[in-house]
A and B are shown apart, each in its own frame.
Chain A
Amino acid sequence: MERVSFDLAKTPLREVNTYLHQQLVADDHRHVEVLNPDGAHNIAVGLDQPVTVEIHGHAGYYAGGMNKKATVVVHGSVGTGVAENMMSGKVHVKGFASNGAGATAHGGLLVIEGDAGLRCGISLKGGNIVVGGSVGSFSAFMAQAGRMVICGNAGDALGDSLYEAVIYIRGEPKSLGADARFEPMTDADYTAVGELLREAGLDHDPKTFKRIASARSLYHWNADANQEY
């Protein structure tokens, strides 16, 4: 398994992404290093092979976007929409993430060791997200499926208009969104949190987490819901 390295200070991003899409496996390279990302957007988007891409520095928007099968590690912080619409694989951010982290992810695991900004896990569709720190307001807005583990606190309106996604939080949300409610933790919940924390490499006691899920009172139109829709 050979390593290959790209220096974004010298090679245009388009060449790097095209290589990752078309040439990587043919060359039998399974481990790619990206140097000097300098906050560039769209690094390692659209991967579709079981390879590892390590980004040494900060990345801009959509790092590891729409990932499938690959592991993307960012040794730094990321901008908006990291791992957006991920299908499978893993995106691991060692630093912090901006808004919309893991938005609409259908699968895979997104790990953010630091804090995440607004709307983390918005419209989540089956992916898993573990945040070592806290998340901003409107996180898990309209999240449909998947799980979010928040080791710190959350901003306002956590889990607003949730469908079937489940949130586990260790700290406190500033407020819950419409139709979100705390529910008792079951053994299955403790196991799930334990497994996700282990995969993320974070060491917390699952017993310290609380469960938030949908009360399902907005699933069908009804006149008494007023402006909640």
Chain B
Amino acid sequence: MDMKPVHIKRRSTEESASFDRRIIDYIQNAAAHGLYEIRGLGAKRHVPHFDDLLFLAGSMSRYPLEGYREKCVTKTILGTRFAKKPIELDIPITIAGMSFGALSANVKEALGRAATEMGTSTTTGDGGMTQEERGSSKTLVYQCLPSRYGFNPDDLRKADAIEVVIGQGAKPGGGGMLLGQKVNPRVAKMRTLPEGVDQRSACRHPDWTGPDDLAIKIQELREMTDWEKPIYVKVGATRTFNDVKLAVHSGADVVVVDGMQGGTAATQTCFIEHVGIPTLAAVRQAVDALEDLDMKGKVQLIVSGGIRTGADVAKALAMGADAVAIGQGVLFALGCNSETYIRDEQHYSALDAYDALGTAPGFCHHCHTGKCPVGVTTQDAELEQRLQPMVGARRVRNYLKTLNMELTTIARACGKQNVHHLEREDLVSLTVEAAAMSGIPLAGTNWVPGR
């Protein structure tokens, strides 16, 4: 009998932890193009978040409220410090600043309609105020950004509040970006730019440097509007404790803190994934800063960056926020990353459009291309028809309504007649990291790392 040795062919498949397939793909992409990747939406990496907190509801030691019977107030007032006309909202859930340019005019209208129906505010973005959004929004916050695209005193006077944007959670320290495909004639005209230019904008304001200057700038905005409108200062979450203190020093009525999970229409991926701190850590630092200055309740705090659910809203409020702002959540409500788009009550497949972008529903982050398969983040005359304002408005309204119902459900279970009565005592942390970042003890213990 022939006794030849058997050679079993062995395939080596050990993947490197440092150089896994994702990193190899990144390196080879860099080698092919010589330019960093730009994309939309927010951080994809896992970071400690509100999911790592849990509520302690009523039981024997605390008394819950009857879920469907007893009143639970959601009314929210912002801008009580200096403004003659503070903002009054029916719910503590607002729509974050997103530009016309990043979003279509249809979407801006849909957001305005939804916000108005829900008694909350929506916000302009880096590109000025459109008639569509002013017309459809009862309460509109007007952003003053470093680029000042489309910024003008008439729109400033039409606004209900003013938000001075220092930074954004997705890219603290970075300027705006809008790639040429989205700079169509209307966008170009509003921004005073050549059509089709790859727009990159400044990261610092052109006419002030530092908090002492900002104090004068805020005074200018107040003088401009005869001290009527609340002035918000928005910061991307980094050195949040100090930044919030300086925002208060500068005279802000409201501070907006945007964590690293916050979205963007177009930014370098290295920025999105590697700059800034998680929203969870930022909320605690912001609240600490306000308490340190004895300004809690005098200067309101809006938190944004990865707020998705009613539970997230409840946790942000319990940690000390007065309201939240949602960007990406409302985009998903509009149909972002959905397999279909809706026209005249019918669903149509958008899969070809995802395929053309080299992606699929659930993974798409191609806002920067302007080729949004569902017509949300586009300036393309055909694609934008995929999102009809009335359809979008209904979906966003439903989403906000759901969040508000979830928020009050949790608040009642915790025994609160007012969602603003939620407090840190109502929360525990699920992980050591979350306990350290939030300052909320690990569940079942009274332990906060570092204390």
**Chain A contact residues, CB within 8 Å of chain B:** 13-14, 17-18, 21-22, 41-42, 45-46, 48, 60-62, 65-66, 68, 80-81, 84-85, 87, 99-100, 103-104, 106, 119, 122-123, 125-126, 141-142, 144-145, 161, 163-164, 219-224, 229
Task: Give A163 to B200 CA distance when docked, in angstroms.
Answer: 11
Q: Is B219 located at the chain interface by the 8 A CB criterion? A: yes
Q: In the bound complex, do residue B156 and residue A61 qualify as a contact, i.e. CB atoms below 8 Å apart?
A: no
Q: In the bound complex, do residue B202 and residue A65 qualify as a contact, i.e. CB atoms below 8 Å apart?
A: no
Contacts of A22 on B, CB cut-off 8 Å? 226
Task: Give A18 to B223 CA distance when docked, in angstroms.
Answer: 8
Q: In the bound complex, do residue B223 and residue A14 qualify as a contact, i.e. CB atoms below 8 Å apart?
A: yes
Q: In the bound complex, do residue A104 and residue B206 qualify as a contact, i.e. CB atoms below 8 Å apart?
A: yes
Q: In the bound complex, do residue B220 and residue A142 qualify as a contact, i.e. CB atoms below 8 Å apart?
A: no
Q: Is B180 located at the chain interface by the 8 A CB criterion? A: yes
Contacts of B152 on A, CB cut-off 8 Å? 66, 85, 87, 106
Report B200 CB to chain A, min CB distance, Å: 6
Contacts of A60 on B, CB cut-off 8 Å? 216
Task: Give A190 to B393 CA distance when docked, in angstroms.
Answer: 54
Given contacts A104-B148, A163-B194, contact A84 B153 (CB under 8 A): no
Task: Give A219 to B180 CA distance when docked, in angstroms.
Answer: 9
Q: In the bound complex, do residue A62 and residue B220 qualify as a contact, i.e. CB atoms below 8 Å apart?
A: yes
Other-chain contact of A62, B33, B151, B217 (Cβ < 8 Å): B217
Task: Give A18 to B202 CA distance when docked, in angstroms.
Answer: 32
Given contacts A85-B148, A85-B151, A104-B151, contact A142 B194 (CB under 8 A): no
Task: Give A141 to B207 CA distance when docked, in angstroms.
Answer: 12
29 contacts between A and B (CB under 8 A): A14-B223, A14-B226, A17-B226, A41-B216, A45-B224, A46-B153, A48-B153, A62-B220, A66-B152, A80-B207, A81-B208, A84-B207, A87-B152, A104-B148, A119-B206, A122-B202, A122-B206, A123-B206, A125-B148, A126-B192, A142-B201, A145-B192, A163-B193, A163-B197, A219-B197, A219-B198, A220-B197, A220-B198, A221-B179
Q: In the bound complex, do residue A85 and residue B153 qualify as a contact, i.e. CB atoms below 8 Å apart?
A: yes
Task: Give A141 to B152 CA distance when docked, in angstroms.
Answer: 20
**Chain B contact residues, CB within 8 Å of chain A:** 33-35, 147-148, 151-154, 156-157, 179-180, 191-194, 197-198, 200-202, 206-209, 213, 216-217, 219-220, 223-227
Interface centre among A65, A144, A229 (most CB of B within 10 A): A144
Report B148 CB to chain A, min CB distance, Å: 4
Q: In the bound complex, do residue B35 and residue A125 qualify as a contact, i.e. CB atoms below 8 Å apart?
A: no
Task: Give A113 to B193 CA distance when docked, in angstroms.
Answer: 30
Contacts of A85 on B, CB cut-off 8 Å? 148, 151-153
Contacts of B206 on A, CB cut-off 8 Å? 84, 100, 103-104, 119, 122-123, 141
Q: In the bound complex, do residue B35 and residue A223 qualify as a contact, i.e. CB atoms below 8 Å apart?
A: yes
Q: In the bound complex, do residue B34 and residue A223 qualify as a contact, i.e. CB atoms below 8 Å apart?
A: yes
Known A22-B226, A61-B217; further 5 A-B contacts with Cβ < 8 A:
A46-B223, A61-B213, A61-B220, A62-B207, A81-B217
Report A81 CB to chain B, min CB distance, Å: 4
Report A220 CB to chain B, min CB distance, Å: 5
Report A116 CB to chain B, min CB distance, Å: 13
Q: In the bound complex, do residue A45 and residue B223 qualify as a contact, i.e. CB atoms below 8 Å apart?
A: yes
Closest chain A residue to B191, Cβ basis: A144
A-B complex: 8 closest residue pairs judged by Cβ atoms? A223-B34, A81-B207, A46-B224, A103-B206, A66-B153, A104-B148, A100-B207, A122-B206
Contacts of B34 on A, CB cut-off 8 Å? 223-224
Report A129 CB to chain B, min CB distance, Å: 13
Task: Give A62 to B153 CA distance when docked, in angstroms.
Answer: 14
Other-chain contact of A65, B191, B197, B220 (Cβ < 8 Å): B220
Interface centre among A81, A103, A119 (most CB of B within 10 A): A81
Task: Give A42 to B218 CA distance when docked, in angstroms.
Answer: 10
Contacts of B207 on A, CB cut-off 8 Å? 62, 80-81, 84, 99-100, 103-104, 122
Contacts of B220 on A, CB cut-off 8 Å? 41-42, 45, 61-62, 65
Contacts of A21 on B, CB cut-off 8 Å? 226
Task: Give A207 to B192 CA distance when docked, in angstroms.
Answer: 29
Other-chain contact of B227, A14, A65, A141 (Cβ < 8 Å): A14
